[in-house]
Structure 1
């Protein structure tokens, strides 16, 4: 899996980490959203046993092994210029818009 990040996205993700160490996890959250679920970018301190590393640079990203099939092999993560959200897309589909970062460290 490869997640393409532009410079603005890298800058916003760096701000999400702050001064504390952490990793990013693409997570399809169905908890309490009252819908079919939505993608969230979690900031985690350590991966779970079921998480797999999908990218190392410029940030380490993880995905839960059971959710890996929900994501495409090559994707683009783009930060919104005027709003604290992201958009995840691939050549074949829009996987999510208005994606938020949730720090659970």
Structure 2
């Protein structure tokens, strides 16, 4: 899998990390959803054993092996210039236009 980002998106991702290490996990969140899931991005301290790593410029994205088939081989991640969210798309699909980043680092210790 490949994820393409532009320089503005790269800046927004770096701001989300706030100078700390972390991994961006792209996944369908089904918790309390009652549906097929909502596309989300979480910042994690460490990948899980079932995660696939994807290098994107200075970042590492993660996708669970079980959810990898839900995405096309090449994705485009774009930061919204007027709202704190991202759009995830491919040449053949629009996955979501309102993807938020949730920082889940250090959650196990809280």
- Fold match by TM threshold 0.5: yes
Deviations 1:60-91 (A, max 9, x none): 11100100001110010000001000000000
Q: Which runs of 5+ in 1 are unaligned?
A: none
**Aligned equivalents of 2:56, 2:78: Cα separation in 1:** 18
**Aligned equivalents of 2:54, 2:20: Cα separation in 1:** 21
**Aligned equivalents of 2:34, 2:14: Cα separation in 1:** 30
**Aligned equivalents of 1:52, 1:13: Cα separation in 2:** 19
CA deviation after TM superposition for structure 1 residue 33, in Å: 2.6
CA deviation after TM superposition for structure 1 residue 95, in Å: 1.1
List 4+ stretches of structure 1 deviating above 6 A: none
Partner of 1:7: 7
**Aligned equivalents of 2:55, 2:38: Cα separation in 1:** 21
Partner of 1:96: 96
Q: Which runs of 5+ in 2 are unaligned?
A: 106-110
Partner of 1:50: 50
Partner of 2:19: 19
TM-score where L is the length of structure 2: 0.90
